[in-house]
Amino acid sequence: MKTIMFIVFFLLMGAFFIISEEGIKLNSKENIQTFFNSYFSWTQKLFDNSNTVTGYVVRLEWLPE
C-alpha cells in the first residue's frame, strides 16, 4: 500500500511541477490539452528511462570473481 501511495504522490508532484513550470492555467480546453500532452510525454520519458536503467542493472555482474 505504501508503494502505491508513493507512486501516486510522485505522479501528482510531476503533474504539479509541469503545471507550474509551463505556466499552464487549466481554465480552457487548449490548456488542458497542452497539459495532458506534456504530462504523457513526461511519463513516457520516465518509463523509457526506467527501462534503460533496469537494463543496465540486469547486465551488471553482481557476483564476485
Asked if pLDDT for residue 64 goes beyond 90, the answer is no
Q: Which structural domain, as residue segments, surrounds residue 43?
A: 2-59
> Which helix or strand (DSSP H or E) is residue 34 part of?
helix 29-59
Q: Looking at residues 43-60, what average pLDDT do you find?
A: 93
Read off the DSSP letter of residue 20.
Answer: H
Asked if pLDDT for residue 63 goes beyond 90, the answer is no
d(CA 46, CA 36): 15
Residue with cell 487549466: 26
Instruction: Specify the pLDDT at position 54.
Output: 94
| Structural domain count, the chain | 1
pLDDT tens digits, 14-43: 999 999 988 888 899 999 999 999 999 999
Q: Are 35 and 18 in contact (CB under 8 A)?
A: yes
Residues 6 or more apart whose Cβ sits within 8 Å of residue 11: 43
Instruction: Specify the pLDDT at position 55.
Output: 92
Instruction: Specify the pLDDT at position 22.
Output: 87
Residue 65 in domain? no
Residue 46 in domain? yes
**Closest CA relative to residue 18, chosen from 49, 39, 34:** 39
